[in-house]
Amino acid sequence: MTNSTQYKIGLLIYPELTQLDATGPYQVFSTLPGTHVYLVWKTLEPVKDMGGLILQPTTTFADCPPLDVICVPGGGMATVEMMRDSEVLTFLKEQAKNAQYITSVCTGSLILAAAGLLQGYKAACHWMFRDCLAQMGVEVSTERVVVDRNRISGGGVTAGIDFGLTVAAALYGEETAKFVQLILEYNPDPPFNAGSPETAGVVTEQVKQAGAGLVAATLAESKQVAARLNL
């Protein structure tokens, strides 16, 4: 598996993110030939995810080179904070000017929308936050991975691996993506059929109740974004 093209892929990381939104795609991207993957944040100080895992940024906003792919992961209340963080939104808008692909996983699409980068596009996000994404003028899809021109978005959390392989195929072709998939032995066979609200039965309502406060806060911020963007 060789390729002469050298791609620069940047994953935004930030305090209290959902680490698998970033580390799933990172595992795929770091396996690709000739690809340089950056973990990007405001500073080089370690970043702790919502579960306590520590991630080390490899470049700052100021030092980050122009990226071929920019990817934004999601994360609980941290997503809401990023949706209103002017420094983050400015960085994304600047990188998007020349990026080949502008992408997200889970509620990272809400952050892209807050930066004004998804209006007029179809996109995915975690199932609990689809109304929040729609509030910001995005055509919301229930697909696990959505490709709309140069926007690629993955659904909730574990969709990040499917998303990563989709990006790999877009950059290097299907055969390379399949090569990576087999290296990773990505052959999911979950023990329960509870991975979507349509199949989880009574668990769906339990999850909705547990996340009601977060969804309400995110929807309120989405409405603020819509007003700011004159949507």
> What pLDDT is stored for residue 2 in this prediction?
57
pLDDT (average), residues 10-20 = 98
1 belongs to a structural domain: no
**118-162 pLDDT tens trace:** 999 999 999 999 999 999 999 999 999 999 999 999 999 999 999
pLDDT (average), residues 78-88 = 98
What is the residue-wise DSSP string for 134-164?
A: HHTT-EE--SSEEEETTEEEE-STTHHHHHH
Greatest distance between any 2 Cα atoms in the chain: 51
**42-77 pLDDT tens trace:** 999 999 999 999 999 999 999 999 999 999 999 999
For the chain, list the strands marked E by DSSP. 8-12, 36-41, 47-48, 54-55, 59-60, 69-72, 101-105, 122-123, 139-140, 145-148, 151-154
CA distances from 122 to 94, 100, 202, 221 (A): 21, 17, 30, 20
223 belongs to a structural domain: yes
The rounded distance, in Å, linking the Cα atoms of 191 and 203 is 15
Q: Domain range spanning residue 121?
A: 8-228
pLDDT (average), residues 65-94 = 98
DSSP letter, residue 117: -
57 belongs to a structural domain: yes
The model's pTM is: 0.97
64 is catalytic: no
> What pLDDT is stored for residue 20 in this prediction?
98
Q: Quote the number of domains for the chain.
A: 1
Contacts 24+ apart (CB under 8 A), 40-44: 40/10, 40/11, 40/12, 40/13, 40/64, 40/91, 41/12, 41/13, 41/14, 42/87, 42/88
CA distances from 226 to 10, 21, 123, 133, 137 (A): 27, 25, 16, 10, 7
Among residues of the chain, what percentage have pLDDT more than 70? Answer: 98
CA distances from 224 to 84, 110, 133 (A): 9, 12, 12
134 belongs to a structural domain: yes
Least Cα distance to 181 among 197, 165, 160 occurs for 165
3 belongs to a structural domain: no
Q: What is the pLDDT of the chain when averaged over all its residues? A: 97
The rounded distance, in Å, linking the Cα atoms of 21 and 52 is 15
**Which of 64, 71, 106, 125 is labelled catalytic?**
106
CATH number, position 14: 3.40.50.880
190 belongs to a structural domain: yes
Whether 177 shows a pLDDT value over 80: the answer reads yes
Whether 1 shows a pLDDT value over 90: the answer reads no
2 belongs to a structural domain: no
> What pLDDT is stored for residue 80 in this prediction?
98
| Tokens encoding 44 | 């080089």
* Cβ–Cβ under 8 Å, residues 7 and 32: yes
Residue 181 backbone phi and psi in degrees, to 5: -55, -40
> What pLDDT is stored for residue 38 in this prediction?
98
160 belongs to a structural domain: yes
